[in-house]
Structure 1
Amino acid sequence: MKKLNKLVILFCFALTALNCSSDDDNNTEQPQNTNVITLNNETYVVNSVIVEPALGDNTFVSFSNKTETELLDAINNGTQLDNVNVFGIRINQSPLAEQTYSFSDMSNFQFEENAQIINGELEDGNILLDNNNADTNLNASTGSLTLELYTTDQIEISFQFTRNDGIIINGSYKGSYISMDNTDG
Protein backbone atom coordinates (compact mmCIF):
# COMPACT_ATOMS: atom_id res chain seq x y z
CA MET A 1 0.00 0.00 0.00
CA LYS A 2 2.88 2.39 0.83
CA LYS A 3 4.45 1.69 -2.57
CA LEU A 4 1.15 2.47 -4.30
CA ASN A 5 0.80 5.79 -2.41
CA LYS A 6 4.38 6.75 -3.32
CA LEU A 7 3.76 5.88 -6.96
CA VAL A 8 0.54 7.92 -7.04
CA ILE A 9 2.33 10.92 -5.47
CA LEU A 10 5.27 10.63 -7.88
CA PHE A 11 2.87 10.31 -10.81
CA CYS A 12 1.02 13.49 -9.69
CA PHE A 13 4.30 15.40 -9.38
CA ALA A 14 5.37 14.22 -12.81
CA LEU A 15 2.09 15.34 -14.39
CA THR A 16 2.32 18.72 -12.67
CA ALA A 17 5.89 19.26 -13.84
CA LEU A 18 5.05 18.25 -17.41
CA ASN A 19 1.99 20.50 -17.53
CA CYS A 20 3.89 23.50 -16.20
CA SER A 21 6.83 23.08 -18.52
CA SER A 22 4.71 22.60 -21.64
CA ASP A 23 2.79 25.82 -20.92
CA ASP A 24 6.04 27.70 -20.44
CA ASP A 25 7.47 26.33 -23.69
CA ASN A 26 4.40 27.36 -25.69
CA ASN A 27 4.27 30.90 -24.31
CA THR A 28 5.15 33.08 -27.30
CA GLU A 29 3.67 36.36 -26.05
CA GLN A 30 6.12 39.23 -25.93
CA PRO A 31 6.04 41.42 -22.82
CA GLN A 32 4.27 44.74 -23.29
CA ASN A 33 6.42 47.82 -23.35
CA THR A 34 5.04 49.60 -20.28
CA ASN A 35 6.29 52.55 -18.25
CA VAL A 36 7.68 54.28 -21.32
CA ILE A 37 6.87 57.04 -23.78
CA THR A 38 7.89 56.53 -27.40
CA LEU A 39 8.33 59.25 -29.99
CA ASN A 40 9.90 58.69 -33.41
CA ASN A 41 11.81 55.53 -32.38
CA GLU A 42 13.05 57.20 -29.17
CA THR A 43 12.07 55.63 -25.86
CA TYR A 44 11.69 57.68 -22.68
CA VAL A 45 11.45 55.76 -19.41
CA VAL A 46 8.62 56.67 -17.05
CA ASN A 47 9.54 56.14 -13.40
CA SER A 48 6.63 57.99 -11.79
CA VAL A 49 3.22 59.48 -12.37
CA ILE A 50 1.63 62.37 -10.48
CA VAL A 51 -2.16 62.86 -10.38
CA GLU A 52 -3.27 66.28 -9.16
CA PRO A 53 -6.91 67.44 -9.07
CA ALA A 54 -7.25 71.19 -9.66
CA LEU A 55 -9.92 73.86 -9.44
CA GLY A 56 -12.58 73.88 -12.12
CA ASP A 57 -13.06 70.12 -12.43
CA ASN A 58 -9.65 69.54 -14.01
CA THR A 59 -7.03 66.92 -13.22
CA PHE A 60 -3.36 67.13 -14.11
CA VAL A 61 -1.55 63.88 -14.91
CA SER A 62 2.24 64.03 -15.27
CA PHE A 63 4.58 61.26 -16.43
CA SER A 64 8.27 61.67 -15.50
CA ASN A 65 11.58 59.86 -15.82
CA LYS A 66 12.42 60.83 -12.22
CA THR A 67 11.46 58.75 -9.19
CA GLU A 68 8.74 59.70 -6.72
CA THR A 69 11.39 60.52 -4.11
CA GLU A 70 13.32 62.84 -6.46
CA LEU A 71 10.17 64.64 -7.60
CA LEU A 72 8.74 65.13 -4.12
CA ASP A 73 12.09 66.43 -2.86
CA ALA A 74 12.29 68.92 -5.73
CA ILE A 75 8.67 70.05 -5.34
CA ASN A 76 8.50 70.20 -1.54
CA ASN A 77 12.07 71.18 -0.63
CA GLY A 78 13.14 73.26 -3.61
CA THR A 79 15.92 70.86 -4.57
CA GLN A 80 17.12 71.44 -8.13
CA LEU A 81 16.50 68.46 -10.38
CA ASP A 82 18.18 68.21 -13.81
CA ASN A 83 17.54 66.12 -16.94
CA VAL A 84 13.82 65.86 -16.28
CA ASN A 85 11.52 64.46 -18.96
CA VAL A 86 7.87 65.32 -18.27
CA PHE A 87 4.69 64.63 -20.18
CA GLY A 88 1.86 66.63 -18.62
CA ILE A 89 -1.81 66.42 -19.53
CA ARG A 90 -4.73 68.43 -18.14
CA ILE A 91 -7.94 66.41 -18.35
CA ASN A 92 -11.25 68.27 -18.11
CA GLN A 93 -12.64 66.03 -15.38
CA SER A 94 -12.22 65.63 -11.64
CA PRO A 95 -12.22 63.10 -10.20
CA LEU A 96 -10.91 60.85 -12.94
CA ALA A 97 -12.75 57.69 -13.92
CA GLU A 98 -11.69 54.46 -15.61
CA GLN A 99 -12.53 55.38 -19.21
CA THR A 100 -11.07 56.70 -22.45
CA TYR A 101 -10.71 60.46 -22.72
CA SER A 102 -10.86 61.91 -26.22
CA PHE A 103 -8.77 64.75 -27.60
CA SER A 104 -11.52 67.25 -26.75
CA ASP A 105 -11.43 66.10 -23.07
CA MET A 106 -7.85 67.38 -22.72
CA SER A 107 -7.41 71.14 -22.54
CA ASN A 108 -3.64 71.19 -22.20
CA PHE A 109 -0.72 68.85 -22.81
CA GLN A 110 3.01 69.19 -23.23
CA PHE A 111 6.00 66.87 -23.49
CA GLU A 112 9.40 68.28 -22.51
CA GLU A 113 12.80 66.58 -22.36
CA ASN A 114 15.97 67.64 -20.52
CA ALA A 115 14.15 70.21 -18.38
CA GLN A 116 14.98 71.29 -14.83
CA ILE A 117 12.88 71.67 -11.73
CA ILE A 118 14.07 74.80 -9.95
CA ASN A 119 12.24 76.03 -6.82
CA GLY A 120 9.40 73.63 -7.60
CA GLU A 121 8.91 74.95 -11.16
CA LEU A 122 9.65 73.17 -14.45
CA GLU A 123 12.02 75.20 -16.67
CA ASP A 124 14.09 75.19 -19.86
CA GLY A 125 13.11 71.91 -21.51
CA ASN A 126 13.08 70.97 -25.18
CA ILE A 127 9.45 70.88 -26.30
CA LEU A 128 8.56 67.68 -28.17
CA LEU A 129 4.76 68.06 -28.11
CA ASP A 130 2.52 70.97 -27.22
CA ASN A 131 -1.08 71.98 -27.62
CA ASN A 132 -0.29 75.57 -28.61
CA ASN A 133 3.25 76.05 -29.89
CA ALA A 134 4.56 78.62 -32.37
CA ASP A 135 6.05 75.67 -34.28
CA THR A 136 2.74 74.16 -35.40
CA ASN A 137 4.44 70.85 -36.25
CA LEU A 138 4.87 70.29 -32.48
CA ASN A 139 1.14 70.69 -31.89
CA ALA A 140 -1.08 67.61 -31.81
CA SER A 141 -3.95 67.09 -34.21
CA THR A 142 -5.43 64.02 -32.48
CA GLY A 143 -5.05 62.12 -29.26
CA SER A 144 -6.65 60.08 -26.52
CA LEU A 145 -5.89 58.80 -23.04
CA THR A 146 -7.23 55.60 -21.48
CA LEU A 147 -7.38 55.09 -17.74
CA GLU A 148 -7.71 51.32 -17.34
CA LEU A 149 -7.17 51.09 -13.57
CA TYR A 150 -7.35 53.84 -10.98
CA THR A 151 -7.31 52.91 -7.28
CA THR A 152 -5.96 54.71 -4.23
CA ASP A 153 -2.49 53.28 -4.80
CA GLN A 154 -2.31 51.89 -8.38
CA ILE A 155 -2.81 53.34 -11.84
CA GLU A 156 -2.79 51.80 -15.31
CA ILE A 157 -2.87 54.45 -18.01
CA SER A 158 -1.98 54.81 -21.68
CA PHE A 159 -2.14 57.56 -24.26
CA GLN A 160 -1.46 58.32 -27.90
CA PHE A 161 -1.12 61.67 -29.68
CA THR A 162 -0.38 62.47 -33.30
CA ARG A 163 1.54 65.67 -33.96
CA ASN A 164 0.67 67.86 -36.95
CA ASP A 165 3.84 66.62 -38.68
CA GLY A 166 2.52 63.01 -38.44
CA ILE A 167 4.81 61.87 -35.58
CA ILE A 168 3.02 59.57 -33.12
CA ILE A 169 3.68 59.77 -29.39
CA ASN A 170 2.62 56.74 -27.33
CA GLY A 171 2.92 56.25 -23.61
CA SER A 172 1.86 53.81 -20.93
CA TYR A 173 2.39 53.32 -17.23
CA LYS A 174 1.36 50.64 -14.78
CA GLY A 175 2.21 50.95 -11.09
CA SER A 176 1.98 53.18 -8.06
CA TYR A 177 1.55 56.93 -8.40
CA ILE A 178 1.80 60.15 -6.41
CA SER A 179 -1.56 61.65 -5.49
CA MET A 180 -1.39 65.38 -4.94
CA ASP A 181 -5.03 65.54 -3.82
CA ASN A 182 -5.21 68.57 -1.54
CA THR A 183 -8.92 68.18 -0.80
CA ASP A 184 -8.25 65.88 2.19
CA GLY A 185 -6.36 68.44 4.26
Structure 2
Amino acid sequence: MLFPSGPGVRPVVARALYGAFAEFRREFDAMCRVADRRLPLPLAAVVFAPQDGVDAGLLHRPEFRRTALFAYQVALLRLWREWDVLRVAAVAGEGAGGCAAGYVAGVLGLDEAVRLLVSGHRLFEHGGTRAERLLRAGGHDRVLCCAPDQENRHGTAPAEGIRGLRQELLEGRGPHARW
Protein backbone atom coordinates (compact mmCIF):
# COMPACT_ATOMS: atom_id res chain seq x y z
CA MET A 1 0.00 0.00 0.00
CA LEU A 2 1.50 3.31 -1.06
CA PHE A 3 0.55 6.40 0.93
CA PRO A 4 1.47 9.53 -1.09
CA SER A 5 2.15 12.95 0.39
CA GLY A 6 -0.16 14.94 -1.81
CA PRO A 7 -1.95 16.69 -3.32
CA GLY A 8 -4.24 16.49 -0.30
CA VAL A 9 -7.77 15.61 0.65
CA ARG A 10 -10.62 16.44 -1.68
CA PRO A 11 -13.26 17.53 0.84
CA VAL A 12 -16.15 16.45 -1.38
CA VAL A 13 -14.79 12.87 -1.50
CA ALA A 14 -14.06 12.78 2.23
CA ARG A 15 -17.55 14.12 2.95
CA ALA A 16 -19.19 11.49 0.73
CA LEU A 17 -17.25 8.62 2.31
CA TYR A 18 -17.89 9.99 5.80
CA GLY A 19 -21.63 10.18 5.17
CA ALA A 20 -21.95 6.81 3.47
CA PHE A 21 -19.73 4.41 5.44
CA ALA A 22 -19.75 3.94 9.21
CA GLU A 23 -16.29 2.30 9.25
CA PHE A 24 -14.74 5.28 7.48
CA ARG A 25 -16.60 7.68 9.80
CA ARG A 26 -15.46 5.86 12.98
CA GLU A 27 -11.81 5.82 11.89
CA PHE A 28 -11.83 9.42 10.65
CA ASP A 29 -13.44 10.57 13.91
CA ALA A 30 -10.78 8.70 15.92
CA MET A 31 -8.04 10.47 13.94
CA CYS A 32 -9.76 13.83 14.44
CA ARG A 33 -10.09 13.37 18.23
CA VAL A 34 -6.31 13.04 18.53
CA ALA A 35 -5.57 15.80 16.01
CA ASP A 36 -7.98 18.23 17.68
CA ARG A 37 -5.80 18.23 20.81
CA ARG A 38 -2.97 19.74 18.75
CA LEU A 39 -4.71 21.89 16.12
CA PRO A 40 -6.17 25.37 16.78
CA LEU A 41 -9.52 24.35 15.21
CA PRO A 42 -11.21 20.94 14.91
CA LEU A 43 -9.93 19.04 11.88
CA ALA A 44 -13.42 17.93 10.79
CA ALA A 45 -14.62 21.56 10.81
CA VAL A 46 -11.86 22.43 8.35
CA VAL A 47 -12.25 19.36 6.12
CA PHE A 48 -16.04 19.61 6.00
CA ALA A 49 -16.28 23.41 5.85
CA PRO A 50 -18.46 24.88 3.09
CA GLN A 51 -16.37 25.26 -0.06
CA ASP A 52 -16.58 29.04 -0.02
CA GLY A 53 -16.42 29.32 3.77
CA VAL A 54 -13.62 30.91 5.77
CA ASP A 55 -12.50 27.63 7.37
CA ALA A 56 -12.17 25.86 3.99
CA GLY A 57 -9.07 27.93 3.24
CA LEU A 58 -7.35 26.51 6.31
CA LEU A 59 -6.97 23.20 4.48
CA HIS A 60 -4.16 24.89 2.54
CA ARG A 61 -2.16 25.39 5.72
CA PRO A 62 0.44 22.61 6.04
CA GLU A 63 -0.55 21.39 9.49
CA PHE A 64 -4.20 20.96 8.45
CA ARG A 65 -3.40 19.59 4.97
CA ARG A 66 -0.94 16.95 6.25
CA THR A 67 -3.15 15.88 9.16
CA ALA A 68 -6.29 15.72 7.01
CA LEU A 69 -4.49 13.62 4.39
CA PHE A 70 -3.22 11.26 7.09
CA ALA A 71 -6.71 10.87 8.62
CA TYR A 72 -8.26 10.33 5.19
CA GLN A 73 -5.67 7.72 4.14
CA VAL A 74 -5.94 5.73 7.35
CA ALA A 75 -9.76 5.85 7.34
CA LEU A 76 -9.87 4.75 3.70
CA LEU A 77 -7.54 1.84 4.39
CA ARG A 78 -9.74 0.75 7.31
CA LEU A 79 -12.79 0.89 5.03
CA TRP A 80 -11.07 -1.22 2.38
CA ARG A 81 -10.04 -3.73 5.04
CA GLU A 82 -13.63 -3.88 6.29
CA TRP A 83 -14.75 -4.67 2.75
CA ASP A 84 -11.93 -7.23 2.45
CA VAL A 85 -10.87 -5.46 -0.75
CA LEU A 86 -7.19 -5.81 -0.04
CA ARG A 87 -4.73 -7.48 2.22
CA VAL A 88 -1.75 -5.26 2.88
CA ALA A 89 1.55 -7.09 2.58
CA ALA A 90 3.71 -3.97 2.63
CA VAL A 91 3.37 -0.25 3.21
CA ALA A 92 5.32 2.70 1.88
CA GLY A 93 4.85 6.42 2.02
CA GLU A 94 6.38 9.84 1.76
CA GLY A 95 5.75 12.89 3.93
CA ALA A 96 2.31 12.63 5.54
CA GLY A 97 1.97 9.29 3.77
CA GLY A 98 5.09 8.07 5.55
CA CYS A 99 3.37 8.76 8.86
CA ALA A 100 0.30 6.88 7.64
CA ALA A 101 2.47 3.93 6.57
CA GLY A 102 4.26 3.90 9.92
CA TYR A 103 0.98 4.13 11.81
CA VAL A 104 -0.82 1.32 9.97
CA ALA A 105 2.30 -0.86 10.26
CA GLY A 106 2.13 -0.39 14.02
CA VAL A 107 5.47 1.28 14.58
CA LEU A 108 4.23 4.84 14.97
CA GLY A 109 1.59 5.60 17.57
CA LEU A 110 -1.34 7.77 16.59
CA ASP A 111 -0.36 10.58 18.95
CA GLU A 112 3.24 10.55 17.71
CA ALA A 113 2.15 10.56 14.07
CA VAL A 114 -0.21 13.49 14.63
CA ARG A 115 2.46 15.36 16.61
CA LEU A 116 4.87 15.04 13.68
CA LEU A 117 2.25 16.14 11.17
CA VAL A 118 1.01 19.16 13.13
CA SER A 119 4.37 20.38 14.39
CA GLY A 120 5.89 20.59 10.93
CA HIS A 121 9.11 18.87 11.99
CA ARG A 122 10.91 17.52 9.00
CA LEU A 123 9.56 14.08 8.32
CA PHE A 124 12.75 13.28 6.44
CA GLU A 125 16.04 13.13 8.25
CA HIS A 126 19.43 11.59 7.52
CA GLY A 127 18.93 7.87 7.05
CA GLY A 128 15.40 8.01 5.68
CA THR A 129 12.06 9.07 7.06
CA ARG A 130 11.32 8.73 10.74
CA ALA A 131 8.62 6.23 9.81
CA GLU A 132 11.11 4.26 7.69
CA ARG A 133 13.62 4.09 10.54
CA LEU A 134 10.90 3.03 12.97
CA LEU A 135 9.72 0.33 10.57
CA ARG A 136 13.26 -1.07 10.41
CA ALA A 137 13.66 -0.84 14.18
CA GLY A 138 10.34 -2.68 14.57
CA GLY A 139 11.72 -5.67 12.67
CA HIS A 140 10.50 -4.81 9.20
CA ASP A 141 13.65 -5.52 7.21
CA ARG A 142 12.14 -4.77 3.81
CA VAL A 143 11.22 -1.08 3.61
CA LEU A 144 10.50 0.49 0.25
CA CYS A 145 11.85 4.03 0.08
CA CYS A 146 9.76 6.20 -2.23
CA ALA A 147 11.64 9.44 -1.72
CA PRO A 148 13.87 10.98 -4.38
CA ASP A 149 17.42 9.65 -4.14
CA GLN A 150 20.55 11.79 -3.86
CA GLU A 151 20.94 12.25 -7.62
CA ASN A 152 17.23 12.81 -8.17
CA ARG A 153 16.25 15.44 -5.58
CA HIS A 154 13.53 16.96 -7.75
CA GLY A 155 11.52 13.75 -7.86
CA THR A 156 11.70 13.40 -11.62
CA ALA A 157 11.03 9.99 -13.09
CA PRO A 158 13.91 7.97 -14.54
CA ALA A 159 14.74 8.30 -18.23
CA GLU A 160 12.54 5.30 -19.05
CA GLY A 161 9.57 7.14 -17.54
CA ILE A 162 6.98 5.90 -15.10
CA ARG A 163 6.85 2.39 -16.63
CA GLY A 164 10.57 2.01 -15.98
CA LEU A 165 10.14 3.20 -12.40
CA ARG A 166 7.25 0.78 -11.86
CA GLN A 167 9.34 -2.08 -13.23
CA GLU A 168 12.27 -1.14 -10.98
CA LEU A 169 9.98 -1.11 -7.96
CA LEU A 170 8.42 -4.45 -8.85
CA GLU A 171 11.82 -6.04 -9.33
CA GLY A 172 13.25 -4.36 -6.22
CA ARG A 173 16.12 -2.73 -8.07
CA GLY A 174 17.26 0.74 -9.06
CA PRO A 175 17.85 3.90 -7.05
CA HIS A 176 14.14 4.27 -6.24
CA ALA A 177 13.75 0.89 -4.55
CA ARG A 178 15.72 0.25 -1.38
CA TRP A 179 14.98 -3.00 0.40
TM-score range, shorter chain: under 0.3
The structure carrying a bigger strand percent of its residues is 1
* TM score, norm. by length of structure 1: 0.25
The structure carrying a bigger helix percent of its residues is 2
Structure with max Cα Rg: 1
